[in-house]
Structure 1
Amino acid sequence: MRIALNARILQAPRTGIGQYLSELIGALHDESQLELELFHGWGWSRQLPPAALPGYSQWATLAKQVPGAYRIRRWLDQRRFDRGAGRRGVQLYHEPSLWPLDFAGPMVMTLHDLTHLHYPETQPRDRLAEIERRVGLAVERAQCILTDSQFVADEISRHYGVGGSRLQVAPLGYAQRFHPREAEWLDVRLAPLGLSPGGYLLCVGTLEPRKNLSQALRAYARLPEAVRVRFPLLIVGMAGWRSESFAAELQLALATGQVRVLGYQSDEALAELLAGARLLLFPSLYEGFGLPVLEAMASGVPVVLSARAALPEVAGTAGTYVEPGDDQGWCEAILRLIDDQAEWLACRAQGLQQAQRFSWKRCARITAAVYRQTLEH
């Protein structure tokens, strides 16, 4: 089977969908009788690029300045895709994101969440217009739609009327770099940042409203001064759309010196930071899966999180759940897992066990089965 995968998103620094695609491609290489052709917009390859490709920052700047930039780029992509797919004898096209290119043969798409419906303000206006125009048509056209969680599958079924074998859940996995690490090893890696293993709290995610970073900041501010001095709060992630909406709140927190924004981190640096954290705080309001939660559990780090959207599917009984808006509840949960070592160890053990339910190998196996079933019909 010769499968075309739209890999253009790998030009950007790899966050949620980029991580999904890079890990899925790697795992699909172990599936027999699959030949992957990766379309990058400017060309094709059969190998996963090792890092973000050149040109992303220039494109991001251009998209803000040129009206209709998304439509222009899509028109160019479509022409290159058509030529390449024909020459390579592509039998099936897999779109790993919101709106697929046109393809005469069978098409599978992955719909990770319905953020564009729940939080349209998190998208640039031009991009949102393209999403709204194309996603419904794409859902109608796709022979099969893959999702990361049953929660999103149910949402798609309700909103778009899709069901049966056309909708398949393929839960995500975690990369092998996410695992518990010895304190002595972490000491060397964390020392340049002025950190020590187990000596800080961590938030991971793009800085945008639905990630609810303000909740973590408010809960952290309620902790006793001595606790905040001992456990600084680190925030890892790129600035997202409308991140300025909580800029003032963040600036106040930064002024204390107890909150630090580290920005985007490389894959290995993020794995080290997760493994060294006392807790991951994940107050997100909406997630189609929540990879940082799984990666933290696999690293032996307990998670305090919202019981929203797909997050309970990922954390199961291993998560410590607090409702968004309950500032005191968040504060108490954090203090409990700092002060009570027995509870911290129990949550750690449950998290490690829960993480074993997920793997990229399983995700690839389900995805490959969808490819085969689609081509057989």
Structure 2
Amino acid sequence: MRVALNARILQAPRTGIGQYVAALSEALQEQAGVDLDLFLGRSWGADLPSAPMPGYARKASLAKRVPGAYRIRRWLEQRSFDRGLKRRQVDLYHEPTLWPLEFDGPMVMTLHDLTHVHYPQTQPADRLLEIERHVGRAVERAQAVLTDSEHVAGEVRRHFGLPEERVTVAPLGCAARFYPRAYQALERTLGELGLVAGRYLICVGTLEPRKNLELALRAHALLPASLRKGLPLVIVGMPGWRAEQLDDTLKASLAEGDVKVLGYQSDAVLAELLAGARALLFPSLYEGFGLPVLESMASGVPVVLTGTSSLPEVAGEAGVYVEAHDPQAMTIAILRLMEDESYWQRCRTLGLEQAKAFSWQRCARITSDVYRKVLGG
């Protein structure tokens, strides 16, 4: 079967959905009977782009100032998509985001979460408008909907009134670059960033209100001053919409060097940053899956996280859970991981075992089975 996968998101630096598209497409190409064509926005190809589109951030920033930018971009992409389809005998179209392009054939879409429903205030108004224009109709058009977790599958069925058989859970996987590493092997990369392996905490995720980073910042600020100075909180991620809300909370900690905001980092550097952390703090209010949690566990690093949405499905018994609005609880969890080596080792061991339950090969196998079901075989 020939499948068209919309991989346009790979024009941008890879965050959650970009990582999904890249890893899934690689794993699908190993599945027997799946012939994959990637739509890259302006062109088609069989190979993943090795890097984001040059100047993507500047172009995206300019586009936000243009009235109707989302609709203009969609119109241009639809034209390019249609031209490519004329030269291909595509059996099925897979859309990994909220607004599929038009396609006169079977369509499968992935709904990673319902952030636009639960936290509409975290979306720019023009983007939210486009989501509301397209997503309902898209779900009606789709012969099957994939989700990353049971939690989101239940939400999708209830919100859109879908029967159980139209929604399939395909849990995400973990890239091979996330594995435990000797601290000595991390010295060069971490040294260039002013860090020491085992002597920092890390948060990973786009800077936006839903990620609830203020909880981690306040918990870190409550640590004893002597510990806090030698245990910086490292924040890694793309600036998101309303990221400026963090500024007031960050100012004092940034000025004293207690918090380091590293921004977006390459896949290779992120893997080393995770492996060198004492713990991952993941205070998110809502997640469709939570890839950094899985990646941290696979790296042999304990995770302190909230027990919201899908996160317990990913972390299982390996997670150190705290309430989403209780910085003192997170501070206590951090202190225990710092001071109790046997507890840290236990969390590490549980996390490594939990991570084994997830793989991109499994995700691709479930996904290709859905393709076959939709195509009647």
TM-score range, shorter chain: over 0.9
Other-structure match for 1:266: 266
Amino acid at match of 1:132: E
- What secondary structure sits across from 2:178 in the alignment? coil
Work out the CA distance in 1 between the residues paired with 2:200 and 2:267. 19
Other-structure match for 1:125: 125
Amino acid at match of 2:41: G
Work out the CA distance in 1 between the residues paired with 2:81 and 2:173. 29
| Aligned-residue offset at 1:191 | 1.8
Deviations for 1:276-321, whole angstroms, at most 9, x for unmatched residues?
A: 0000000000000000000000000000000000000000000000
TM-score (norm 1): 0.98
Work out the CA distance in 1 between the residues paired with 2:252 and 2:142. 47
Other-structure match for 2:193: 193
- The 5-angstrom pairing of residues 75-90 of structure 1 reads 75-90=75-90
User: 8 Å contact 1:298–1:355 — kept in the other structure?
Assistant: yes
Amino acid at match of 2:165: S
Deviations for 1:205-253, whole angstroms, at most 9, x for unmatched residues?
A: 0000000010000000000011111211100001100111221111222
Amino acid at match of 1:257: G
User: 8 Å contact 1:210–1:285 — kept in the other structure?
Assistant: yes
Aligned length: 377
| Aligned-residue offset at 1:34 | 1.1
- What secondary structure sits across from 2:57 in the alignment? helix
1:341 matched to 2:338:
no
Other-structure match for 2:51: 51
Other-structure match for 1:241: 241
Amino acid at match of 2:24: L
Work out the CA distance in 2 between the residues paired with 1:223 and 1:58. 39
User: 8 Å contact 1:62–1:69 — kept in the other structure?
Assistant: no
Which 10-residue stretch deviates more, 193-202 or 313-322?
A: 193-202
Work out the CA distance in 1 between the residues paired with 2:91 and 2:62. 34
| Aligned-residue offset at 1:55 | 4.8
User: 8 Å contact 1:254–1:260 — kept in the other structure?
Assistant: yes
Other-structure match for 1:367: 367
Work out the CA distance in 1 between the residues paired with 2:56 and 2:246. 26
Amino acid at match of 1:23: A
Amino acid at match of 2:369: A
- The 5-angstrom pairing of residues 207-286 of structure 1 reads 207-286=207-286
Deviations for 1:327-369, whole angstroms, at most 9, x for unmatched residues?
A: 1111101100110000000000000000000000000000011
User: 8 Å contact 1:11–1:55 — kept in the other structure?
Assistant: no
- The 5-angstrom pairing of residues 44-193 of structure 1 reads 44-193=44-193
Work out the CA distance in 1 between the residues paired with 2:282 and 2:217. 11
User: 8 Å contact 1:288–1:310 — kept in the other structure?
Assistant: yes
- What secondary structure sits across from 2:304 in the alignment? strand
Other-structure match for 2:353: 353
User: 8 Å contact 1:24–1:363 — kept in the other structure?
Assistant: yes
Which 10-residue stretch deviates more, 327-336 or 250-259?
A: 250-259
- What secondary structure sits across from 2:64 in the alignment? helix
5+ long unaligned stretches in structure 2? none
Other-structure match for 1:13: 13
Other-structure match for 1:299: 299
Amino acid at match of 2:121: E
- Give % identity: 64
User: 8 Å contact 1:281–1:303 — kept in the other structure?
Assistant: yes
User: 8 Å contact 1:116–1:128 — kept in the other structure?
Assistant: yes
Amino acid at match of 1:161: G
TM-score (norm 2): 0.98
Work out the CA distance in 2 between the residues paired with 1:89 and 1:58. 36
Amino acid at match of 1:149: S
Which 10-residue stretch deviates more, 313-322 or 326-335?
A: 326-335
- The 5-angstrom pairing of residues 16-27 of structure 1 reads 16-27=16-27
- Runs in 1 of length 4+ with deviation above 3 angstroms? none
Amino acid at match of 1:16: G
User: 8 Å contact 2:78–2:101 — kept in the other structure?
Assistant: yes
User: 8 Å contact 1:122–1:241 — kept in the other structure?
Assistant: yes
- What secondary structure sits across from 2:87 in the alignment? helix
Which 10-residue stretch deviates more, 120-129 or 354-363?
A: 120-129
Work out the CA distance in 1 between the residues paired with 2:129 and 2:55. 23
User: 8 Å contact 2:157–2:164 — kept in the other structure?
Assistant: no
Work out the CA distance in 2 between the residues paired with 1:230 and 1:70. 45
- What secondary structure sits across from 1:65 in the alignment? coil
Work out the CA distance in 2 between the residues paired with 1:133 and 1:55. 29
5+ long unaligned stretches in structure 1? none
Amino acid at match of 1:229: K
Work out the CA distance in 2 between the residues paired with 1:223 and 1:184. 27
- What secondary structure sits across from 1:376 in the alignment? coil
Amino acid at match of 2:144: C
Amino acid at match of 1:174: C
Amino acid at match of 1:183: Y
User: 8 Å contact 2:294–2:355 — kept in the other structure?
Assistant: yes
Work out the CA distance in 2 between the residues paired with 1:218 and 1:80. 48
